[in-house]
Structure 1
């Protein structure tokens, strides 16, 4: 089978698996009847009611011209979506938009498969270079849709291109742009640190009054496709000045818009807006995020530094320490403007992870555990058995996250991009890295004394959620989005894997009886959880331009494997 057909068959199997898991389609005896045709397949069931369709098992059956059924091997996800459109209740624009995302995803998958390296080689790479080899969100089917990128753009700017790029620096008139930083950082210190003295002097020489501008980096794609068009008036008037390329090279992470400096690894990571549609939303940076990032970081740092549990666990917080906000002079204050047009300029600077590593430690994004063959190689290198290694991973992930949620009433969005795992010199998971804060931090509606006064007590930035909704971030992002696909790799028997996971929850519960009410409210061992269908949301949302990012609606309940698991330690 060609690489294209293999990747296409795998994407089709994932499409059917996830649509069945989300109850968008209801197979009977591994058969889906779609009007005048049907699909059959071989599948197994996992935790949370999930489906796993075998890629080489899917067949498409239609009625032949002589009245007999004609069955053939099916490998085409686009054909399947078109076949299922009526049953799914999709209109033409939604079918066309999703087909475009599927086609882009498949093309990226083929490029990745054609340039894949062995897991042993992957483990020897710097963490910034591992990102470009990871296969994407395990639940979202069209996880590399990137509507707005051309084929050349994908070859240049996508993570799997693994091609270093330089950022272009802009000077934006003060008043149109606003810098914010944590109390220990000045605007000049951030820019000076990022550019170095030579580039700084060169750029200052291009401006009559350099200090009347706020400086920030810009993604080269955004400069070409958005800044030079949408901001043409400001460029012509000298309110925005293109200074030139910065001296350092960067690689994009899985999120595409976050860049890691590979020339100077001690310099900041940079989060930049991109006006592309990917995994359901346009990848701009909302104004409230750039404005709030440094103060949210400073608040969390205060909690971190005082917290004995997080200190003992060695949990690292990668703060979003500085930002630049650029408001569009007309659109930002006009009502009903689609958000893709108001989030086009700005940046957030984030702490790098490299200075946090102790001698002999290594770090990798959590999503790496789902890369084919990689976790097996990690376990083999550690010399530990699978149960010991998995147990260390679960403890590393759950102990700080359970503490944050129940002691402070704070939750992050702990999916594979937002967390990284630091391994000990022996290769065992040991410490957790948490990043991507301001866009994903939620706090409990109930006031919690331990977290003190929130940084947005007057102008709300942090979403307030009841306990069972805070719980859902842990459930959807970590349990469903990482641990369930990891369990499907069968490193351990399912009952042992979920028993170890339940053991971590029970350990926290017995160790902290003072949080009994909160633990009852979060109910991590409840019989069922609410279902939030990520792929169904994409299809329900369609491709209409919206002025806000709407929430994902619930659709029924899913069984919880922790409810019946026998706790293990």
Structure 2
């Protein structure tokens, strides 16, 4: 193995102090972690509209990417929907690169240095996650246990495990894949200084004060103050959202860069939460039991994104006796998507629910973390659950067409632009959740073709069938910090994708 990167070496040094028993496993996992991150980066270089890549030439044995400065990148063919296939090395002119961080440094494009640091953190954290993973053939009995089985993070983002600012001790203490129990605290804020939405529970109130749940990392590193002990909880895939045993999920403010951005809970999200929940639950009821939406029970902000929280229903409430509810991202661990019939049935269910809500006026961000599936004891998909309404898109015109009003909803979530609405759903569901479950373009295309005859015949379905599939240009976004909002790329449509024609 080549010399350790700065992030890898720093994490190794910390690990030698806080968990020395994991150090040999961590070192052993580093080559595979680098290859997994490099595969995600190479996919982005091949398929995203990066301005410093001026041409892509397909050859018998791989691809050549021509750079604006005259150099050439050489690497393997890429299936844009594939997961799990590592890329062990690419060549920049004649120099071989097996380390994604060093490759990005060598490219020396604008903002490469910062992104290279994130890639180094991603590979190091992924190696640590894999080193600490345990495998069991038994299906978990509790919702958070399913989420903790997702070891590799985002299936397509090069920053799949990037956690800059998190030490080895922090990752072991708070990363869901390490299966910790986290001690949540509360900070008391004068009620007059808070915005509260929904039904904030009595246990989080005091005379003339509101108690705001706080993640311990946030208390230590951002608020820099102690929090009063409250409840023990289990971190979920998003790390900042935790499950209270027997109770709701708590979404906390955690002002760290995770995967690609610094996430917060805005005052806008708190203000809109009750009306948004009401609308989404009403629309989900029109899917004949196919889809449920977890309700936001209450939300609060101390008028600061650093001190805010949401309480949300656990998806477990929508599972009956003997049923399991798990995020779509955890499906590959079940082995179920390996069955073409199962994958087709699940694809039909997911596309039907997404298209119905889109036609009604709500585009879900239905990626593998937000979209969950309820499975019967034998693994048959029964229905779907959607959580986290913070980044959906709502069309007043489509709602009005169905006699639905949502006058209380304003701001960034609202748009009637069909391109924006379709990007939101198809970019998250088809290029995200379904692609990751299928594991390859041909498998995804076969599942979609099998599902097509029973899908709702809407203009959105026609758009999905006729054109390329939108996907977030995640690497372009990381390398364009001066450009606000999402940026997009177009992937070959899996309905017409043929093996051997997956690069263009």
Shift of 1:324: 0.8
**Where does residue 309 of structure 2 map in the other structure?**
347
Shift of 1:103: 1.6
Alpha-carbon contact 2:428-2:471 (below 8 Å) kept: no
Post-superposition CA distance 1:130-163 (Å, at most 9, x none): 3233111112111222333333322222222321
Alpha-carbon contact 1:273-1:347 (below 8 Å) kept: yes
**Where does residue 276 of structure 1 map in the other structure?**
256
**Where does residue 253 of structure 1 map in the other structure?**
236
3-state SS of the aligned residue for 1:15? helix
Post-superposition CA distance 1:430-455 (Å, at most 9, x none): 11010001332433544534362205
Alpha-carbon contact 2:431-2:471 (below 8 Å) kept: no
Shift of 1:295: 2.2
Please point out which of 353, 356, 372 is paired with 1:400.
353
Alpha-carbon contact 1:171-1:214 (below 8 Å) kept: yes
Alpha-carbon contact 2:64-2:74 (below 8 Å) kept: yes
Please list every run of 5 or more consecutive structure 2 residues that lacks an aligned counterpart in the other structure. 2-27, 499-504
Report how many residues are paired.
463
Rounded to whole Å, the distance in 1 between the matches of 2:224 and 2:444 is 52
Alpha-carbon contact 2:118-2:159 (below 8 Å) kept: yes
Q: Work out whether 1:228 is the aligned partner of 2:220.
A: no
Please point out which of 368, 376, 385 is paired with 1:433.
385
Shift of 1:411: 1.2
Shift of 1:255: 1.4
**Where does residue 217 of structure 1 map in the other structure?**
213
**Where does residue 560 of structure 1 map in the other structure?**
493
Rounded to whole Å, the distance in 2 between the matches of 1:509 and 1:180 is 35
Rounded to whole Å, the distance in 2 between the matches of 1:54 and 1:214 is 49
**Where does residue 31 of structure 1 map in the other structure?**
64
Alpha-carbon contact 1:360-1:425 (below 8 Å) kept: yes
Rounded to whole Å, the distance in 1 between the matches of 2:397 and 2:45 is 33
Alpha-carbon contact 1:524-1:562 (below 8 Å) kept: no
3-state SS of the aligned residue for 2:435? helix
Shift of 1:76: 0.9
**Where does residue 295 of structure 2 map in the other structure?**
319
Q: Work out whether 1:508 is the aligned partner of 2:462.
A: no
Please point out which of 307, 318, 340 is paired with 1:356.
318
Rounded to whole Å, the distance in 2 between the matches of 1:61 and 1:460 is 48
3-state SS of the aligned residue for 1:133? coil
**1:322-471 paired onto structure 2 within 5 Å:** 322-327=298-303, 342-370=304-332, 374-376=333-335, 378=336, 386-406=339-359, 408-443=360-395, 445-450=397-402, 452-456=404-408, 459-460=410-411, 462-471=413-422
- Could you say what the CA RMSD is over the residues aligned between the two structures, in angstroms? 2.9
Highest CA radius of gyration, 1 or 2? 1
Post-superposition CA distance 1:236-256 (Å, at most 9, x none): xxxxxx66211x321222212
Cα distance, 1:178–1:60 mapped onto 2, change above 3 Å: closer
Q: Work out whether 1:56 is the aligned partner of 2:118.
A: no
3-state SS of the aligned residue for 2:222? helix
**Where does residue 129 of structure 1 map in the other structure?**
145
Cα distance, 1:428–1:413 mapped onto 2, change above 3 Å: same
Please list every run of 5 or more consecutive structure 1 residues that lacks an aligned counterpart in the other structure. 63-70, 196-203, 205-209, 230-241, 328-341, 380-384, 511-515, 543-548
Alpha-carbon contact 1:286-1:343 (below 8 Å) kept: yes
**1:54-133 paired onto structure 2 within 5 Å:** 54-56=86-88, 58-59=90-91, 62=94, 74-85=97-108, 89-90=109-110, 94-118=111-135, 120-121=137-138, 123-124=139-140, 126-133=142-149
Shift of 1:51: 10
Deviates further, 442-451 or 350-359: 442-451
Rounded to whole Å, the distance in 2 between the matches of 1:564 and 1:10 is 24
Shift of 1:428: 1.3
Rounded to whole Å, the distance in 2 between the matches of 1:321 and 1:451 is 26
Post-superposition CA distance 1:163-212 (Å, at most 9, x none): 1111111211011113221xxx4x3xx233xx7xxxxxxxx8xxxxx321
Q: TM-score, normalised by structure 1?
A: 0.74
Shift of 1:259: 0.9
Cα distance, 1:536–1:401 mapped onto 2, change above 3 Å: same
**Where does residue 474 of structure 2 map in the other structure?**
534
Alpha-carbon contact 2:83-2:156 (below 8 Å) kept: no
Alpha-carbon contact 1:361-1:423 (below 8 Å) kept: yes
